[in-house]
Amino acid sequence: MTDASTTKRHSRKGLYAPFILVLIALAAWTGWWIFLTRQIDTRLEAQVQTLRQDGWDIRYADKSITGWPFRTHVALTNLIVQAPSGHAIKATELTAEANAYQPTKWVVVAPQGLMLTRAGKGEVAVKGDAIRMSASGIDQRWPNLALEMVNPVFTAQTGAEPFPIARAARIEFYARPHLEGSTAPTDDVDVMFRLVDGQGRANGPVEGFAQDGRLTTQLEAEIGQASLLKTGGDAAGVFSAWTKAGGTFRNVRGDLQAGDSRATLSSDVLRADANGRLTGQVQLQAQKPLPALAGLMATRQGPVNRIGAAGAAAAAGAAEATGKEQLPLTLVFRDGRTWLGPFPLAPAPKLF
């Protein structure tokens, strides 16, 4: 028989090896997470200081960075971002989050809504089921951006000018680098704006144009020389230097539905004049434009030229009487006004 005292015991060191490896990996990952969050904090503060030197006013009451182990979660409270032009955004809370293993893709959320300040026009509160933005490829020359508002409601504050849109089902904006061929990025950016089931404010031009119905539109364009927009702008706005350097909107395409009226639109080039008003021509293929123009003519508030709208409505009515389903129309932006043929409708859209 074998003496029990001489029996060899198996080493238990192998049992501890997996736990030791896990602890080493966890320590290494924690070190990476701490390094990453410090880098994010440093770059955020550096960007804020750069913008402040360029005339921006950026303030927040508190900042926190959490999310260990797999996420980076940045939260700012009572944030104010005001451009040199006077336009501003305020948020009681703004959060930004990215995976720690993919820090080039972020999602930004304003859970309590936003307060928009329009220079010279006052504040507008924006609430909704969701207000969020995503940014991917932020280490590239041009990132991919997506802004989404779900069921937004716009409320002009006391003393502010009315806001043209009261609510909508969705508002979306997308931007991505414009590519030559399939891979080579350029200095241009592709953008798309989508408004779904927008409702105008009471007695306003959008309500009249949509005949008390819903306005849905989608616009796409290329922004040329987009790098000039990175300067941050001046007192005239972010499009001022871009316009002076010859920046243009190219290959503008879109469609619009307002009540019973529909139209597709296209333009090769649009630009802004020295006063920031849009200039150029937009070709329209319209179906039943008369109800929209008649509603615009009946608008009781806003900058609509009712005499011009009445003339355009009469001309559209005469054209519709010929039985054509598609009416070719030309919308012209010149001299700070929007013209449909010889009829002035309203001020031209203002970029800055």
pLDDT mean for each 10 residues of the chain (352 residues): 55 69 86 94 94 92 95 97 92 96 95 94 96 92 93 96 94 90 76 95 82 88 85 69 86 92 94 90 88 72 73 72 77 92 87 76
The pLDDT value given to residue 251? 96
User: What pTM was computed for the model?
Assistant: 0.86
Same-domain status, 236 and 256: yes
Same-domain status, 97 and 179: no
Same-domain status, 252 and 319: yes
Same-domain status, 126 and 275: no
The pLDDT value given to residue 119? 87
Strands (E), the chain: 57-59, 62-66, 71-82, 88-99, 102-109, 114-118, 122-127, 130-136, 144-150, 153-156, 165-167, 170-180, 184-200, 215-223, 249-258, 261-272, 278-287, 327-334, 337-340, 343-347
Same-domain status, 204 and 228: yes
∠137-139-145 over CA atoms, to 5°?
Answer: 35
Tokens encoding 142: 């041009």
The pLDDT value given to residue 106? 96
Tokens encoding 322: 């010929």
Q: Is 264 helix (H, G, I), strand (E, B) or coil?
A: strand
The pLDDT value given to residue 187? 83
Nearest to 297 by CA among 315, 312, 310, 316: 310
In a domain, 11, yes or no: no
Same-domain status, 181 and 318: yes
Same-domain status, 144 and 202: no
Same-domain status, 177 and 98: no
In a domain, 101, yes or no: yes
Q: Is 176 helix (H, G, I), strand (E, B) or coil?
A: strand
In a domain, 4, yes or no: no
In a domain, 261, yes or no: yes
For residue 109, count other CB atoms closer than 10 A to its CB: 17
Same-domain status, 40 and 147: yes
Instruction: Give the end of a domain, one of 95, 130, 163.
Output: 163
Same-domain status, 156 and 232: no
Instruction: Give the end of a domain, one of 147, 163, 179.
Output: 163
For residue 23, count other CB atoms closer than 10 A to its CB: 11
Could you give the CA distance from residue 5 to residue 259 in angstroms, rounded to a whole number? 96
Instruction: Give the end of a domain, one of 163, 188, 223.
Output: 163
In a domain, 241, yes or no: yes
State residue 213 phi and psi, 5-degree precision: -105, -145
Q: Which domain holds residue 302?
A: 168-351
The pLDDT value given to residue 209? 80
Same-domain status, 129 and 196: no
- Total number of domains constituting the chain: 2
The pLDDT value given to residue 225? 85
Could you give the CA distance from residue 268 to residue 47 in angstroms, rounded to a whole number? 36
Same-domain status, 33 and 96: yes
